[in-house]
A = this chain, B = another copy of it.
């Protein structure tokens, strides 16, 4: 059955905005290295970064009809996240849909498929993370579902989950653990700031992290080169 679930609970706007201070790598680590989408999901232009509440779309191969349906389900601060039911390399999304989403305050799109009109999307600063870029169009014949759980690029995403995307990729944080992961990210960042200062001053990670004893115990051997210069 093709379903549109309306008004699912969303991660709080204030929490989502707080996540935007952190990088995907930091949040992924703070979450015990989980929730990262496959590395095939790449931004269409550099330096984009978004953090918002997931609106999910399960979509048939080669058919973008549901992307027109989903627009009125979106509100400001949402991130659209789309996965086809079987791998299909079409440019499901372009500038007109982006205009429509931008008018509602949607922050960006994550799609396990292709995207087109990237010059226009770049100019209007509507960021997209996709598998590739292609002008290849789609039909509008078959239904899908909106705001159901999906698997996108190897990760389970529920509607209302926190989606964070930057140059390093896309990470999903379950809505109910978003607050905890946020404070873990803050703790991690604070600790890294301290380490960074040491490293920039020339201290060694070997010493800061106290690794030398464990390395020696594992059997690491140092030996001067016997080659001549």
Given contacts A60-B62, A62-B63, A204-B100, contact A168 B225 (CB under 8 A): no
**Given B2, B9, B135, which contacts A229 in the complex, CB threshold below 8 Å?**
B9
Task: Let me know if A77 is at the binding interface, CB within 8 A.
Answer: no
Contact call A136/B215, Cβ cutoff below 8 A: no
Docked Cα-Cα span, A73 to B69, in Å, equals: 39
Nearest 6 pairs between A and B by C-beta?
A61-B62, A9-B229, A39-B134, A141-B141, A8-B225, A25-B135
Contact call B219/A9, Cβ cutoff below 8 A: no
Q: List 17 A-B contacts (CB under 8 A).
A: A2-B220, A6-B223, A23-B117, A36-B134, A39-B133, A60-B62, A61-B88, A62-B63, A86-B90, A88-B89, A95-B196, A118-B168, A134-B169, A135-B168, A135-B169, A135-B171, A143-B220
Contact call A199/B7, Cβ cutoff below 8 A: no
A186 surroundings in chain B (CB, below 8 A): none
A119 surroundings in chain B (CB, below 8 A): 23, 46-47, 49, 166-168
Given contacts A135-B24, A222-B6, contact A168 B117 (CB under 8 A): yes
Number of copies: 6
Contact call A215/B69, Cβ cutoff below 8 A: yes
Task: Let me know if A147 is at the binding interface, CB within 8 A.
Answer: yes
A99 surroundings in chain B (CB, below 8 A): 196, 199-200
What residue in chain B is nearest A63 (Cβ atoms)? B62
**Given B63, B156, B227, which contacts A8 in the complex, CB threshold below 8 Å?**
B227
Contact call B224/A7, Cβ cutoff below 8 A: yes
Give the segment of A13-21, A26-34, A177-185 that binds chain B: A26-34
Nearest CB on B from A68, distance (A): 4
Interface membership of chain A positions 152-196, coded 1 if the CB is closer than 8 angstroms to chain B and 0 otherwise: 001110011000001111010000000000000000000010011
Given contacts A9-B229, A225-B8, A225-B9, contact A62 B88 (CB under 8 A): yes
Interface membership of chain A positions 88-111, coded 1 if the CB is closer than 8 angstroms to chain B and 0 otherwise: 111100111101101110000000
Nearest CB on B from A226, distance (A): 9
A140 surroundings in chain B (CB, below 8 A): 211
